Structure 1
């Protein structure tokens, strides 16, 4: 540490009660900024590289906030300031750039015979080249993350680029600046030019916590830490990257203005520059030492907080490396000795709680990634509290994982207990803090539509295939509208046509997408009763039951009266027994649900059902409708064909007989129709088809 750093007042026991910004002279503010930047860089190095912080996190945060405050107030921003790591405006796309030197791949195998063959080739070729120096190897963990190159000029980070095809990759510098273990200015005396290879990864503990948060927000979790890392580093919005827990290990020099004689010497110099190096790196005298290293690391693998899938064995001498050279695809001086895939047995690192549309609470085990039938699995359903107790499953246990029907992973059994007792669900919902109640073997959040998780899923369901089929209102769009404050209830969908300017201000929205959304919403104001009943998301009332309820009661008012006051009348409907009837009654007995339905009815007029007057003239046909029809609503057309024996589905497949298009049809359905060779007919042709069967839709 230099004397200048040692004398810095913000290094040890820093003052955190600062003078008001407005009372500072510009030269005083500039001096304070310089000292804060130097101190924060040193604190970053000690935290990320040395793992030896000298101030508390809260004190660090106050120093960082003060630096931001001064830079903003006195316009003192700088490209390599620590504050540049907090994000920035989203990018439209990444620039593709050429690497300063090729980023080649590594020859690899999981067989020990291939590792020894690699050593024999290295020794044979070096002997043939006249090399008479020592042949030793440096062994490193083979990280399962995202490989990148970080380029520094005069000690400053100039560029961070993904591996891409090895010749060129995406410039993700702005994203890399948000990662705490990426120094924006190097320490010590680095080469004037230095391009280093590093592996960006998400620590396993942080990955599980991040996935827990995604699950509890109702988002799809990442499959494994590598997918999480890859998906994060290529985000166009740096602020999103800044919020996710990424780290970096640096493991090689790609190009430099000056080089050490050995690979190990280079790695030993990295921490002096502020570049974080893994502490499991070892130098061995021969290939048998490398094989022993790999076997030892395989045993330690589960205890590491980062994913590795093998070890990398590298010739240590730079001179020997130069003699061995490269092929078109990989360096001839390195070899990866792979681990066998984890198969079926793994450890539960955490349990997240997922809240569904109906409020059902499902515990989800967050696993150390494991191979199950050729698929990497990092989460598995624990189903319900009763099954958890029966299997005696808890965090820390080693379990066997299977996939039901080759799709849904679940915990089959505990192989080895690593905990006491079994996991207990929390007493309150992690989303809305409402009480979680048990119903037999199941558990439910009592928050109803006041619970954000249930609300978001309710909106998605209302607009989805089993609801009113509002094209363009999928999971991503609903989440965006919720985050923008444009939706706080299902009923708010019908206020969107009046909020055109707010929609146009959203990322990715233009005139066409807004017009299409408005058209979909306006076309849904008079839905068929079947679709409306299904769209409400009443537990146990899907499209089939909704159709039978519509057939029985005819109008929404008649159905609701029975549901609220005479639930026994619901039992007249096929598939509606006492339990389902009571569930429907309880849905409307909830004040939150009743208020939500009333709000929707202010904008929507469910149509009287005509199912009882049908026939079988259209039996065997399947229709899909898209766009706005002129003479009737789309819902009326769907109800009519269903009343006469046809199926009306929301998506086009090979089983679809006709796609009926109105104005502003959805492009996805048109593309699917073309792909499946489905006839596309306009409204007039649809009416002509009905007429040919002796039917008239008025």
Structure 2
């Protein structure tokens, strides 16, 4: 059914001869422009979502050109106009934006028993919460790029990639160029809506696009997912518009409306999505129990090759939204959904060589070079052998015929030796292939102890040091790092702080402005937060959360360097193995020399107050809802920094529900049911003030 007034002259059998632009008044041009926009939006939906066009492509092109003509002649540009799908202005960079709610992952397995255990846990926990047995919604697990799209009053306001789950890249301009993603919603939509979907490149579009790239002398993409990822992050939306991207939507992340409640089930959400104009995969089904969900997965796997998009399993979700909220989440995943994966695709080929790569933490990884073979439609010419232990277990060597799998349909690895042509097992080197340091073994693993004195480790360490996961220094990607090393400007981490704009500007591909910007970026990183610095210098087994715990415990770099093993093990997230890795890192002379050189170059990580009296809110649990004067994540970080817990749902263990503007009604109802005090923001500020904590946080 059309969502456009049937009297719209451009909807059915539109006129193909238009009066001269200069004969129209401004009011008439504006009216015709709005009619064209509404009709073209409907034609886009019928073509890209429903696959049931009302008009021929040639007719559509004429209407589109007429709209462009009117907008240009009467200065009627509008960011919501369909013409912006091809004419959006390039952006200077991808900004980082916070999601309306965490974009969590889900647990997964390829074993039916694990799926049944998931079901048993769900039914056990929901029964304890007073829920009856619940059904499931089953959907294909798309192999694309996760996306959040935010709509206010039915208009697309923002779109972002998943990123780390809490923040992602702002790709609004790029998403406006994808025809199947509505810029305006249809029907009776909520006041505010954030939805999650998966951007992908259809198989036929991928093949056609790769053919065009080859004909232009460009490298083809390895697979549709890589093509999607490379496209959605293009700074020029016109590039996105030229590539065949599509998107399926499947979940609500945030919903606010004064008159209409959020759909009560996942299945109802999918039906609402269709009414609002979103593209929803027709292969989704609602089933009554887990055995039917397992049957759904098996049926979909049998049809996998006939689908026009890549999938690597199915997602099984509890249907009842209230039950999903009762099940809650872990730090990284939702507990109400499970991914039942397909087996990896396999093929047989021959190993032509085995090389050993050196990672940024010194880990040595053997890689098999292969006679190219098609695995699931992707050409594979190399596969990981993981570690020396894996080589010994397989008994593999150059010349052997092997079976290759793609784990998760992405990372190729060798499953088994099919024919032992070599009659031998590859001999792992005794010394690092880059710096000749004696190789150290740790069980099945091998490491180069050369640390930052090893050229390969140094190059990757610099890449990590400046990356978003390190100190987030913009303007210095892998290619430029290699260029600076080859020019003799970057022989150590400390050399970053010795770069001079005048010298950089003389290099090929650099200008005075880009050189000056980089030097200023690096200079701004001379006093990094201690936890960011610890993450940036590539200490084995120390990621962001562990670095934060170490910084809070020891307060300074010097204290951490001098810490004893038992002191390290007392830190949350640090066990005996991690403690040993940390101490080995600081005990390695090359690493200590590199750190000393950084300090001599003016790097001074900020110390942290380790006074444990800071845990003023110890034992309290807060839940936040609605819009506060700061982001909810900042509010959660503040209370957690002072010893409290911040959770996403209200229960009997919650001490306070803090509400901002447009709070969620369900959380307020849960607070009333559990006798949880409800605080408005000013009351919350009073509670914090009673504990000596300033609000809002600086």
2:156 corresponds to: 157
Change (3 A) 1:211 1:277: same
Change (3 A) 1:112 1:47: same
Instruction: Tell me the secondary structure at the aligned position of residue 5 of structure 2.
Output: helix
Change (3 A) 1:57 1:197: same
Contact 2:3-2:42 at 8 Å conserved across structures: no
Contact 1:343-1:371 at 8 Å conserved across structures: no
Q: Distance in 1 between matches of 2:374 and 2:300?
A: 26
Once the 2 structures are TM-superposed, how far is the Cα of residue 10 of structure 1 from its aligned partner? 0.4
1:318 corresponds to: 321
Instruction: Tell me the secondary structure at the aligned position of residue 11 of structure 2.
Output: coil
Moved more, 318-327 or 198-207: 318-327
1:53 corresponds to: 53
Change (3 A) 1:513 1:2: closer
Q: Distance in 1 between matches of 2:334 and 2:404?
A: 38
Structure 2 unaligned spans of 5+: 350-371, 385-402, 414-478, 481-504, 516-593, 595-698
Change (3 A) 1:3 1:109: closer
Instruction: Tell me the secondary structure at the aligned position of residue 344 of structure 1.
Output: strand
2:501 corresponds to: none
Q: Distance in 2 between matches of 1:139 and 1:513?
A: 49
Contact 1:214-1:220 at 8 Å conserved across structures: yes
Q: Distance in 1 between matches of 2:149 and 2:191?
A: 14
Contact 1:196-1:252 at 8 Å conserved across structures: yes
Q: Distance in 2 between matches of 1:218 and 1:345?
A: 30
2:126 corresponds to: 126
1:104 corresponds to: 104
Query: Please, what TM-score do these two structures have when normalized by structure 2?
Result: 0.51
1:369 corresponds to: 378
Per-residue Cα deviation, 1:26-65 (whole angstroms, up to 9, x for no partner): 1111111010011011111111222111101111111111
Q: 1:448-467, aligned counterparts within 5 Å? A: none
Q: Distance in 2 between matches of 1:90 and 1:68?
A: 18
Contact 2:45-2:277 at 8 Å conserved across structures: yes
Instruction: Tell me the secondary structure at the aligned position of residue 82 of structure 1.
Output: coil
1:177 corresponds to: 176
Q: Distance in 1 between matches of 2:75 and 2:42?
A: 23
Per-residue Cα deviation, 1:193-219 (whole angstroms, up to 9, x for no partner): 110101000000110111111112111
Per-residue Cα deviation, 1:507-550 (whole angstroms, up to 9, x for no partner): 97636999xxxxxxxxxxxxxxxxxxxxxxxxxxxxxxxxxxxx
Q: Distance in 2 between matches of 1:10 and 1:508?
A: 49
Q: 1:79-118, aligned counterparts within 5 Å? A: 79-118=79-118
Between structure 1 and structure 2, the one with the greater Rg is: 1
Instruction: Tell me the secondary structure at the aligned position of residue 36 of structure 1.
Output: helix
Contact 1:46-1:52 at 8 Å conserved across structures: yes
Instruction: Tell me the secondary structure at the aligned position of residue 314 of structure 1.
Output: strand
1:44 corresponds to: 44
Q: Distance in 1 between matches of 2:231 and 2:4?
A: 37
Q: Distance in 1 between matches of 2:314 and 2:412?
A: 32
Change (3 A) 1:319 1:365: closer
Change (3 A) 1:344 1:365: closer
1:206 corresponds to: 205
Work out whether 1:71 is the aligned partner of 2:71: yes
1:628 corresponds to: none
Change (3 A) 1:236 1:124: same
1:186 corresponds to: 185
Once the 2 structures are TM-superposed, how far is the Cα of residue 91 of structure 1 from its aligned partner? 1.8
Q: Distance in 2 between matches of 1:226 and 1:139?
A: 22
2:511 corresponds to: 510
Instruction: Tell me the secondary structure at the aligned position of residue 252 of structure 2.
Output: strand
Structure 1 unaligned spans of 5+: 347-362, 376-399, 410-475, 478-503, 515-674, 676-698
Q: Distance in 1 between matches of 2:513 and 2:190?
A: 53
Instruction: Tell me the secondary structure at the aligned position of residue 377 of structure 2.
Output: strand
Instruction: Tell me the secondary structure at the aligned position of residue 250 of structure 2.
Output: strand
